[in-house]
């Protein structure tokens, strides 16, 4: 499985958990709002029915006052008490939204209307036959109608109370379910985050550090080092590319060694042929001895690899170069120096010139040129150029290194900017 697939799978898991959390929160919010609205509606129904009961009882009290004759306005007060009861009853009935509640409204309406009609008949009988009115109250109103009204309305109140209890239990279950889902989601996010962190540490950062170590050793001249290519993901592709680069460098270096040895061998053969033709002089024998010494010495000690030095130097400053967006141009007409030069001093001189050039460039942008070539007189030139414009620069450290190498250092301007040059004999 590739790195991209692994990362996409991991982050898809995180996205799925995030969507699950959002869905649970959205569903919980909607259900909570619906349950709260239903709870409020049934609470209002209970209050309205209680108001109907209270106003109806108040109206029936006026019936008793009318029978005793203590209250001459009893009938008017009876009708006045029925007005809020009738209004609240209509509001209570309008809030019925299930068949059971509508049946309940029908039963309460029937007994309510019968009770009101009985009360009005009592008031109609009081002026005509008070005794008949009293019997009607005793036999119908108090004994039957009022008792049934109390029973039916009390049952309706209890039904609303039971519904509110059911809704409250549902809200509690909903809250507990949401808490469980959120806890599971939190644990899943933590576990998946730890899994991604462990994966990045073991499958990404550690292999990259190993490849960086291989490149560092390769830049320091170890041409036998190779990266592990056992992986089939992007890291494996990079490792195989690094190994291909290492093989190319090793092959080029080997070809250079063979070419150098072959050239010395040809020159030695030509010198010996000349010596046989015209007799050997002291200078001829010195030349032959120098060639033989060159052939006998190990090839890797013949030269200083400027290509490797340039690459190692750029690798050390890669972070700054990338951060500042500096373009690099290399022209190595002379890929190596004789081993007679001190490689550490040459590297220090390169470092000093690069630092001087970097200091002259702006914080972002700019170009650097790195060149190595040989003059017609045989002297070597190593240059680092920049396009940073004019300015004063201290060459003290670079000149000291150049003197230790037996050469010189200078700074001069060209068409693009300033050039720092190291000259070696």
**pLDDT tens per residue, range 96-125:** 888 888 888 888 888 888 888 888 888 888
Residue 376 counted as domain residue: yes
Do residues 16 and 55 both lie within one domain? yes
Give the pLDDT mean for 46-54. Answer: 87
Please give the pLDDT value at position 300. 40
Do residues 97 and 167 both lie within one domain? yes
Residue 403 has pLDDT above 80, yes or no: yes
Give the pLDDT mean for 50-78. Answer: 80
Please give the pLDDT value at position 353. 92
Q: Distance (Å, rounded) from C-alpha 2 to C-alpha 231? A: 9
| Average pLDDT score, the chain | 80
Last residue of a domain, one of 300, 317, 348: 300
DSSP 139: I
Residue 58 has pLDDT above 70, yes or no: yes
Please give the pLDDT value at position 384. 92
Cβ 156 vs Cβ 95: under 8 Å: no
Residue 220 counted as domain residue: no
Q: Distance (Å, rounded) from C-alpha 201 to C-alpha 8? A: 17
Start-end of H helices in 232-281? 234-278
Give the pLDDT mean for 243-254. Answer: 77
Do residues 18 and 100 both lie within one domain? yes
Please give the pLDDT value at position 271. 55
Q: Going by DSSP bridges, is the β-strand pair 367-374/327-332 parallel, antiparallel, or unpaired?
A: parallel
Residue 197 counted as domain residue: no
Residue 50 counted as domain residue: yes
Sheet architecture: strand order including 367-374: 327-332, 367-374, 380-386, 418-424, 408-413
Cβ 252 vs Cβ 223: under 8 Å: no
Residue 67 has pLDDT above 50, yes or no: yes
Residue 301 has pLDDT above 50, yes or no: no
Residue 216 has pLDDT above 80, yes or no: yes
- The total number of structural domains in the chain stands at 3
Q: Distance (Å, rounded) from C-alpha 360 to C-alpha 396? A: 16
Cβ 347 vs Cβ 313: under 8 Å: yes
Lowest-confidence region among 148-152, 265-269, 299-303, 372-376: 299-303
At residue 351 the predicted structure's pLDDT band, cuts being 50, 70 and 90, is very high
Q: Distance (Å, rounded) from C-alpha 420 to C-alpha 52? A: 103
CATH no. for residue 173?
Answer: 1.20.120.30
**H or E element that contains 20:** helix 3-68
Do residues 323 and 421 both lie within one domain? yes
Please give the pLDDT value at position 178. 81
Lowest-confidence region among 39-48, 181-190, 237-246, 280-289: 280-289
Do residues 29 and 15 both lie within one domain? yes
Please give the pLDDT value at position 299. 38
Last residue of a domain, one of 189, 217, 251: 189
pTM: 0.41
Do residues 145 and 256 both lie within one domain? no
Do residues 100 and 177 both lie within one domain? yes
Do residues 134 and 185 both lie within one domain? yes
Residue-range definition of the domain harbouring residue 273? 226-300
Do residues 284 and 390 both lie within one domain? no
At residue 382 the predicted structure's pLDDT band, cuts being 50, 70 and 90, is very high
Residue 200 counted as domain residue: no
Please give the pLDDT value at position 158. 86
Q: Which of 23-37, 51-65, 226-240, 353-367 has the highest mean pLDDT?
A: 353-367
Residue 69 counted as domain residue: yes
Last residue of a domain, one of 300, 322, 345: 300
Share of the chain above pLDDT 70, in %: 85
Do residues 344 and 292 both lie within one domain? no
Residue 21 counted as domain residue: yes
Please give the pLDDT value at position 316. 87
Do residues 341 and 230 both lie within one domain? no
Q: Going by DSSP bridges, is the β-strand pair 336-338/303-305 parallel, antiparallel, or unpaired?
A: antiparallel
Do residues 277 and 394 both lie within one domain? no
SS3 395: coil
CATH no. for residue 411?
Answer: 3.30.565.10
Residue 241 counted as domain residue: yes
Residue 340 has pLDDT above 70, yes or no: no
Cβ 62 vs Cβ 77: under 8 Å: yes
Q: Distance (Å, rounded) from C-alpha 62 to C-alpha 71? A: 8
121: its two tokens: 């008949």
Lowest-confidence region among 91-95, 105-109, 220-224, 304-308: 220-224
């Amino acid at each position: 499985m590739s790195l991209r697939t692994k990362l996409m799978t991991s982050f898809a898991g995180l996205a799925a958990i995030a969507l699950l959390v959002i869905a649970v929160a959205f569903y919980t919010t909607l259900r909570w709002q619906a349950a709260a609205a239903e709870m409020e509606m049934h609470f209002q129904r209970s209050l309205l029915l209680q108001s109907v009961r209270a106003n109806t009882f108040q109206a029936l009290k006026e019936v008793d006052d009318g029978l005793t004759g203590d209250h001459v306005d009893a009938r008017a007060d009876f009708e006045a008490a029925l007005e809020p009861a009738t209004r609240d009853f209509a509001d209570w009935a309008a809030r019925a939204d299930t068949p059971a509640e509508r049946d309940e409204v029908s039963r309460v309406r029937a007994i309510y209307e019968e009770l009101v009609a009985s009360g009005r008949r009592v008031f109609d009988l009081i002026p005509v036959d008070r005794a008949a009115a009293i019997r009607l109250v005793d036999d119908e109103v108090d004994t039957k109608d009022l008792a049934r009204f109390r029973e039916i309305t009390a049952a309706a109140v209890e039904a609303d109370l039971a519904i509110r209890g059911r809704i409250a239990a549902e809200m509690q279950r909903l809250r507990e379910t949401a808490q469980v889902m959120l806890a599971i989601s939190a644990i899943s996010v933590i576990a998946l985050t730890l899994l991604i962190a462990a994966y990045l540490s073991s499958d990404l950062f550690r292999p990259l550090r190993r490849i960086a170590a291989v490149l560092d050793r390769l830049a320091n001249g170890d041409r036998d080092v190779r990266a592990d290519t056992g992986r089939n993901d992007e890291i494996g592709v990079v490792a195989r590319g690094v190994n291909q680069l290492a093989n190319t460098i090793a092959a080029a270096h080997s070809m250079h060694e063979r070419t150098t040895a072959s050239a010395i061998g040809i020159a030695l053969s030509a010198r010996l042929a000349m010596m046989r033709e015209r007799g050997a002089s002291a200078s001829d024998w010195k030349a032959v001895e120098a060639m033989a010494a060159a052939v006998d010495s190990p090839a890797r000690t013949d030269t200083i690899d400027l290509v490797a030095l340039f690459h190692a130097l750029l690798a050390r400053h890669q972070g700054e170069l990338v951060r500042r967006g500096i373009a690099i141009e290399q022209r190595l007409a002379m890929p190596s120096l004789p081993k007679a030069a001190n490689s550490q001093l040459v590297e220090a001189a390169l470092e000093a010139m690069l630092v001087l050039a970097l200091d002259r460039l702006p914080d972002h942008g700019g170009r650097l040129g790195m060149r190595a070539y040989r003059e017609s007189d045989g002297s070597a030139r190593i240059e680092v150029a920049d396009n940073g414009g004019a300015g004063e620069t201290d060459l003290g450290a670079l000149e000291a290194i150049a003197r230790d190498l037996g050469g010189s250092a200078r700074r001069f301007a060209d068409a693009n900017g300033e050039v720092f040059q190291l000259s070696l004999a």
